[in-house]
């Protein structure tokens, strides 16, 4: 996380009821989250089954599901990168310029899922959302639109340019979330301001 969660908690008086984290990777944020919330109030979503299995082996009673997320159910190709963190349903755009050593090494065909169809299975009062899914963040938001009025805080990776081909841009996310009362209050950019992290809340 480019923006310190502890700093955000202090600055915006965040009270966690439940966390939805999409793009789990190795659940690196778990220890940080558990400073504020018990494990059974955190749901993780991860696209790669081997990472899901790894996280389950490391953390007892972890709530985690394997799913490739989009704003509709469709068959897509999920591309797996050699660094493990840049995998996406999108092709590389400027990513190849910034990180020429990173490339896709394999892929698989899968049917995407919508967040609304996953999170409803858990008795968790989500109010904090974290998205890190390589350019598909807006699609993820749209896939749980009915739940957004209950969300208070959104931490998400954002792009100011096409780091991935056809990725959602931060201005598009800004406009979409404004309709639900969210405002971008913190942004941390890297890579010549092409991608970074943003924090939205209702103010």
* pLDDT for res 119: 97
Q: Mind listing the pLDDT tens digit for each residue in 36-65?
A: 999 999 999 999 999 999 999 999 999 999
Residues 24, 64: Cα–Cα separation, whole Å: 8
* pLDDT for res 110: 97
Q: Mind listing the pLDDT tens digit for each residue in 174-198?
A: 999 999 999 999 999 986 779 999 9
Is the torsion defined by CA of 66, 178, 41, 85 positive or negative? positive
What are the pLDDT tens digits along the chain (203 aa)? 999 999 999 999 999 999 999 999 999 999 999 999 999 999 999 999 999 999 999 999 999 999 999 999 999 999 999 987 899 999 988 888 888 899 899 999 999 999 999 999 999 999 999 999 999 999 999 999 999 999 999 999 999 999 999 999 999 999 999 999 999 999 999 867 799 999 999 98
Q: Phi/psi of residue 102, each to 5°?
A: -95, 130
Residue 22 β-bridge partners: 45, 131
For residue 107, give Cα distances in angstroms to 90, 92, 115, 124, 199.
11, 14, 22, 33, 31
Sorted by where each starts, the structural domains of the chain and their CATH numbers stand as 5-70+115-202 (3.40.50.150)
């Amino acid at each position: 996380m480019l923006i310190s969660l502890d700093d955000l908690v202090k600055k915006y008086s965040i009270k966690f009821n439940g966390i939805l984290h999409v793009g789990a990777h190795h659940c690196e944020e778990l220890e940080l989250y558990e400073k504020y919330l018990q494990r059974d109030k955190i749901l993780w979503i991860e696209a790669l089954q081997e990472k899901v299995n790894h996280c389950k082996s490391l953390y007892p009673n972890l709530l985690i599901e394997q799913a490739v997320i989009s704003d509709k159910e469709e068959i897509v190709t999920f591309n797996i990168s050699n660094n493990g963190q840049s995998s996406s349903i999108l092709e590389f755009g400027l990513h190849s310029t910034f990180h020429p050593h990173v490339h896709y090494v394999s892929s698989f065909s899968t049917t995407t899922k919508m967040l609304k169809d996953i999170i409803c299975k858990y008795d968790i009062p989500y109010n904090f959302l974290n998205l890190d899914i390589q350019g598909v963040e807006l699609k993820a938001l749209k896939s749980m639109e009915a739940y957004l009025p209950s969300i208070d805080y959104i931490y998400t990776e954002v792009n100011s340019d096409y780091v991935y081909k056809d990725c959602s841009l931060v201005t598009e996310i800004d406009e979409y979330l404004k309709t639900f009362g969210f405002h971008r209050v913190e942004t941390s950019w890297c890579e010549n301001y092409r991608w970074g992290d943003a924090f939205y809340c209702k103010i």
